[in-house]
Amino acid sequence: MKILRLMALLVVGLMLANCGGEEKKEEKQEVKLQKKTSEPSADNDMVNVAITGNDQMKFNKEEIRVPVGSTVKLTLRHVGKLDAKVMGHNWVLLTQGTEIPVFALAAAAANDNGYIPEDTDKVIAHTKMLGGGQSDTIEFEAPAPGTYEFICSFPGHSALMKGVFIVE
């Protein structure tokens, strides 16, 4: 076992030694980009977006920007500890012109459907309703260029948990 470990270390060491300074710089830049989470990282036309919700009823982002024509891969993570029944979070992207208070009222009545009104035409995309420690990833095509609103549709949350989704 020890020998194997030593060999593995040697291989890693050689790989590092082969790495030019340029490559290292690029690596560092990549890490920086990933940390700057307000900017989605683009891979061809796929855009990864990460957003979190917490026990203080807050999303960590109020604005998300994606390029026109992209496929959005969005992950919502509930970083709190509270159960979905008391502090549930989802991410719901609404069509333009949707009145949030009106939609929120309809959503509040749809508790047996994850607080998404059945047969609604106001929802472009949405995640599952999550409790603390859970996450959900969805994929959807970015809608037409413009500014859209997103909310958490758990009863009472949309007043605080909302933001804009800009397709540009």
Nearer CB in complex with Co ion: 72/152: 152
User: Quick check: helix, strand or coil at residue 25?
Assistant: helix
Residue 24 exposure: Cα atoms within 13 Å on the Cβ side:
7
Residues 33-92 close enough to bind Co ion by CB under 5 A? 89
Give me the least distance between CB of 64 and Co ion, in Å please: 16
Which residue, 49 or 130, has its beta carbon nearer to Co ion? 130
Sketch the per residue contact string, 82 through 121, with Co ion: x for CB under 5 A, - otherwise.
-------x--------------------------------
- Based on the shown chain and the rule CB under 5 A, indicate whether residue 154 belongs to the binding site for Co ion: yes
Whether the CA torsion 87, 159, 137, 120 is positive or negative: it is positive
Q: In terms of CB distance, is 61 or 89 closer to Co ion? A: 89
3-state secondary structure 82-124: CCHHHHCECCEEECCCCCHHHHHHHHHCCHHHCCCCCCCCCEE
CB of 54 to Co ion, least distance (A): 9
Residue with nearest beta carbon to Co ion = 152
Provide, rounded to whole angstroms, the least separation between the CB of residue 151 and Co ion.
9
The string over 75-106, giving b where at least 16 C-beta atoms fall within 10 Å of a residue's C-beta and e elsewhere, is ebbbebebebeebbbbbbbbeeebebeebbee
Please tell me the chain's helix, strand, coil percentages from 3-state DSSP, rounded to the nearest 5: 30, 30, 40
**8-16, 91-99, 110-118, 155-163 -> range binding Co ion (CB under 5 A):** 155-163
Minimal distance, residue 92 CB to Co ion, in Å? 10
Footprint on this chain of Co ion (rule: CB under 5 A): 89, 152, 154, 157, 161
